[in-house]
Chain A
Amino acid sequence: MVHWKRATDSQPRFQFEQSSGTLANSQIFNCGPTGSAQQADYYNNSPKGAGYSIEGGRLKAGIGQGRPTNAWEQAEILRRRGVPCDVVVIDTLPQLDELLGYGRRPIGIGVEMSRVTATTRGHSFTGWHRITLLTRSHRIRGGKRVPGYTYTDPNFSPAGGHRPDPKKGHRFISRAELRHAYIENTPRFAIVPAHKKGQG
């Protein structure tokens, strides 16, 4: 049996996976259920390649197919997988940093993707979208330490699909860019598990 110590250890999930239903019903709308599946996979130690069904989570929570999900529905999917959580309004990066920490509490957030650069996004979608922050992290860019966050954007396909994520589900957004995209916008909803893994 596997035990995922950090959220970056468990498998990134993508909404254009086979378990996410059909393209029209509901893959294109499944960023939320995909993120909830990834959070549940981490907490419940799903083996890679055997994670929770994305569309199955939607159905288990009684959510209709073929439409977007909201924060409460995404939280309910996570609860139905045995992970207690809340919908939280996060107003500052220090609050986010305190809750997220270094990999033991992945947090789903809703972001208006037009506020993120295309280079960071890696895709063309600019509407409201759920991503999952996995850990605080940093990159060295131009010789300088740039603090930020490692996250999974579900808006890709698995390897071999129509658009695999070149970053393999571990994308990076700087702290300053996330402040612009998330903290300086509304709403600032987040799907926050009640405890870091191992502290429940």
Chain B
Amino acid sequence: MKPKRDYDPEALGVQILGEGHASAISHNAWDRASLHDDAERFAEQKAEDRKHPAWSLRDKPDTEP
């Protein structure tokens, strides 16, 4: 049964997906080992952060639609 929505998917231009689509969402594949070295890995990642392609986007006064 379709839920009663307060928006019109067609007018908004979004696609409602049915059952059966494969999804890669929520693959949080942490393991016990990664919990122990997490702080060290995170420190290494932060040290490299200025090279990240999204670094300049963090503080961007974005006006794009």
Q: What residues of chain B lie closer than 8 Å to A199, measured between beta carbons? A: 6
Contact indicator A124/B34 (Cβ below 8 Å):
yes
Contact of B4 among A31, A71, A130, A194 (CB under 8 A): A194
Taking CB atoms, residues of chain B closer than 8 Å to A85 are 3
The reply on B64 being an interface residue by CB < 8 A is: yes
- Check B25–A130 contact: CB distance below 8 A: yes
Q: Mark A114-129, 1 if CB is under 8 A from B, else 0.
A: 0111111001111111
Q: Could you say which interface size class chain A belongs to?
A: 35 or more
Contacts known (A15-B28, A116-B54, A117-B52); A189 close to B23, Cβ less than 8 A: yes
A176 to B29, CA, bound (A): 27
The answer to whether A146 touches B38 (Cβ under 8 A) is no
**Alpha-carbon separation in the docked complex, A81 to B54 (Å):** 36
A65 to B49, CA, bound (A): 35
Counting contact residues on chain B (CB < 8 A from A), the size range is 35 or more
Known: A15-B28, A68-B27. A142 touches B59 (CB 8 A): yes
Q: Is the CB–CB distance between B62 and A84 below 8 Å? A: no
A61 in contact (CB, < 8 A): no
Which residues on the B side are within 8 Å of A196 (C-beta)? 6
Name the one of B5, B13, B28 contacting A129, with C-beta atoms under 8 angstroms.
Answer: B28
Distance (whole angstroms) from the CB of A82 to the closest CB of chain B: 11
Query: Is there contact, CB below 8 Å, between B26 and A74?
Result: yes
Give Cα A86–Cα B15 distance, bound, in whole angstroms: 10
Binding site for B on A (CB under 8 A): 15, 23-24, 28-32, 68-72, 74, 84-95, 98-99, 110, 115-120, 123-130, 141-142, 144-148, 155, 162-163, 174-177, 179-181, 187, 189, 194-196, 199-200
Q: List chain B positions with a Cβ less than 8 A from chain A.
A: 3-7, 9, 12-17, 19, 21-32, 34-35, 38-39, 41-42, 45-46, 48-49, 52-55, 57-62, 64-65
